[in-house]
Amino acid sequence: MEAINRSRLFTASCLALIVTAMTFAIRAGILNELGTDFGLSNTELGWVNSMAFLGFPIATIFGGFLYNVIGPKKILYLAFLSHLLGLILTIFAGGFWGLLISTFLIGFANGTVEAACNPMISDMYYNNQTEMLNKFHVWFPGGIVIGALCAYFMGNAGIGWQIQIAIMLIPTLIYGFLIFGQEFPKMENMETDTGVNLKKMFTTPLYIFMVICMTLTATTELGTQQWVEKILGNAGAHPMLILVLVTGLMAVGRFFAGPIVHRINPVGVLLGSSIIATIGIVLMSMATGGMVYLAAIIFAIGVMYFWPTMIGFVGEYMPETGPLGMSLIGGAGMFATSLWQPVIGGWIDTEKAKAIAEGLSGPAAELAAGQATLDNIAVFPAILVVAFGLLFFYRKKLEERRVAQAH
């Protein structure tokens, strides 16, 4: 039997995650162009965005259940084919419905990548899971940096959105080349009994609590980033450069996450992140010009640890939920974000109409709408401050009780 080439599979996983991230960044950068070319409102653009976030949880649920049966190999093959088809159909989309279908396929591919790669990496590096999962998840913000820079330079050069989408075919074909014909791990180091996974998920209140929190952490991070062009396009700072700044800091932070998470503990990290994210979004809702970059830095520090720490928390404290537990908590986050996309688009439309009614016009009305929308989004991390604060003190009390009983 051919030996498993862990390094090659890990590299392929990182490239697949880069494609996933590039789809978010480039789509955020071309929203205005799509709206103009196809005559779409912000609400309609929100529905297009929502398809990416809806396809993701469907794939993670589908992939989470299938992982125990067919393993990561076929799931990652499906991700490659879905990316390829979704990107090509987007390039040739003729309007709203074409964008809706192709964006759903891309979202499905993105979710399939997560469903295959998170448990596969945990299985391959069973004795070093935390470090390797963090190194894997570096490439979501890292990929957004790559995608945002592509959108920025290609957009400034007058290169159309179709070519910006086509550029993502390059890393897609590379990761496809890396995975085909390879031997994959056999799931020897994980709980792969679906019945056990389901029982632990639905009978563990902490897991249910974390799933609810994941819907808020994901929307705080991805909901804000996906609308950066519309929300901050008239704040006096280039939206794509803000996205590069935010996600670049996130990539660096995640690379060095291990020592921080171990020193503070995951719940402390999540509580601190919620506080900082709330402050960052509120500051972005008031800032203009160069101050937008400072507010964006604070926002980046707030959200950088949300996604990997939530998944890592499940793997560390609820291991019997298995690959299914890891997949479904990510799916819950993306599903919630998909539901909020048209709502956020509707907020922008409504606030713009209010601004125009109050006598503003053009960029001033757009700026007022974006700032008011950020105020609404700030509610999500504010709720998390309370939720993770309660969890922090609850776990602290449990630990104190444990120590007292030991003595």
Per-residue pLDDT tens over the stretch 45-63: 888 888 887 888 889 888 8
CB atoms within 10 A of CB 371: 20
In a domain, 41, yes or no: yes
pLDDT given at position 14: 95
Percent of the chain with pLDDT over 90: 38
pLDDT per position as a tens digit, 230-266: 777 777 878 778 878 888 898 888 888 767 776 778 8
Q: Give this prediction's pTM.
A: 0.80
Is residue 1 one of the residues assigned to a domain?
A: no
Provide the residue type at 294 as one letter: L
Residue for token pair 């945002």: 148
Is 181's pLDDT higher than 70? Answer: yes
pLDDT reported for residue 24: 83
Q: What is the pLDDT of the chain when averaged over all its residues?
A: 87
Q: Tell which residue, 32, 37, 47, has the closest CA to residue 107.
A: 47
Q: From CA 273, how far away is CA 341, in angstroms rounded? A: 22
Q: Are 118 and 311 in contact (CB under 8 A)?
A: yes
pLDDT given at position 54: 84
CA atoms within 13 A on the CB side of 74: 11
Length of the chain, please?
407
105 in a structural domain: yes
Q: What is the pLDDT of residue 406?
A: 63
Residue 242 inside a domain? The answer is yes
Q: How do residues 113-129 score in pLDDT, each as one tens digit?
A: 998 998 898 888 877 77
- Band of the pLDDT at 270, cuts 50, 70, 90? very high
User: Are residues 364 and 355 in contact, defined by beta-carbon separation less than 8 angstroms?
Assistant: yes
pLDDT band at 1 (very low <50, low <70, confident <90, very high): very low
pLDDT value at residue 127:
72
Alpha carbon distance 300, 308 (integer Å): 14
Question: Where do the DSSP E strands lie in 229-319?
Answer: none
CATH code of residue 313: 1.20.1250.20
pLDDT score at 376: 94
For the chain, the domain total comes to 1
Q: How many other CB atoms are there within 10 angstroms of residue 61's CB atom?
A: 18
Instruction: Supply the range of the domain harboring residue 270.
Output: 6-406
Mean pLDDT calculated for residue range 151-165: 89
Longest dimension (CA), the chain: 73
> Residue 164 above 70 pLDDT?
yes
Q: What is the dihedral of CA 247, 118, 54, 70, to 10 degrees?
A: 160
